[in-house]
Amino acid sequence: MIANNYMLVPAKESKHLFTPTQKLFWDKLFSGDDTDTHLNRADFNPKEFTSFLPNIWMAELLLNENNQLENLKMTLVGTKLAKVYGELTNQLIFDNNSTNSMKSQMESTYNRLMMLSHELFEQNIPLYSRVEYLEENKNYVTATGLTFPMCKNSPNTNMMLGYVEVTYR
């Protein structure tokens, strides 16, 4: 899927697009065997990923009574990501209309996160994303990411794990 210069594709078939660090993250996450790419939160120990933590984010998927994605609650935002996207830890994303929300501050990023979240929830597979844009201050930015479905205390996906690299040119 490509929308407004936003590429969102299945990650497993797109490994040739990964940065070297994304390849390392993928291999460490799956210990070299990616035949099963569904992650259990209990098996993910952030201490084993310390060098990647500044670029990692996690969110809970909040579902309605019809098992449809209703909201995201950010549970972790790495320090490098917080510098770019703001400190979002413990914030609800979809229905937050405050002046400091992602929706108000970074509408395009908010729309991409909505698209990514819904696509991941529907497909239930790791996704690769890439976007290039020009910031208001004229910085040219490329953001690439890997996003993984994750389950916590459930056999069904109810969390997301993301790894994002942001570069400026």
- pLDDT, tens digit, 9 for 90 and up, residues 86-97: 788 888 778 767
Q: Tell whether the model's pLDDT for residue 104 goes beyond 80.
A: no
Domain presence at residue 63: yes
Any residues with CB less than 8 A from the CB of 75 and at least 6 apart, and which? Answer: 58, 59, 60, 89, 90, 159
- In a 3-state reduction of DSSP, which class is residue 78? coil
Instruction: Find, among 136, 126, 135, the residue nearest to 163 by Cα.
Output: 126
Domain presence at residue 48: no
- pLDDT, tens digit, 9 for 90 and up, residues 16-31: 999 999 999 999 999 8
Domain presence at residue 27: yes
Q: How far apart are CA 33 and CA 52, in angstroms?
A: 19
The domain total for the chain is 1
Question: If you average pLDDT over residues 55-68, what whole number do you get?
Answer: 92
Q: How far apart are CA 142 and CA 136, in angstroms?
A: 14
| pTM confidence score | 0.89
- Provide the domain limits for residue 160: 6-31+53-168
The CATH code of the domain that includes 19 is 3.30.450.20
Reading the block at residue 138, the tokens are 């004229």
| Strand boundaries in 32-158, DSSP class E | 39-40, 56-63, 69-77, 127-134, 140-151
- pLDDT, tens digit, 9 for 90 and up, residues 105-160: 777 888 888 899 999 999 999 999 999 877 666 678 889 999 999 999 888 899 99
Domain presence at residue 38: no
Residue with tokens 């209703």: 70
**CB burial of residue 50 (10 Å; 0-12, 13-18, 19+):** exposed
Domain presence at residue 40: no
Domain presence at residue 37: no
Domain presence at residue 36: no
Q: How far apart are CA 103 and CA 121, in angstroms?
A: 20
What confidence score (pLDDT) does residue 112 get?
Answer: 87
Domain presence at residue 41: no
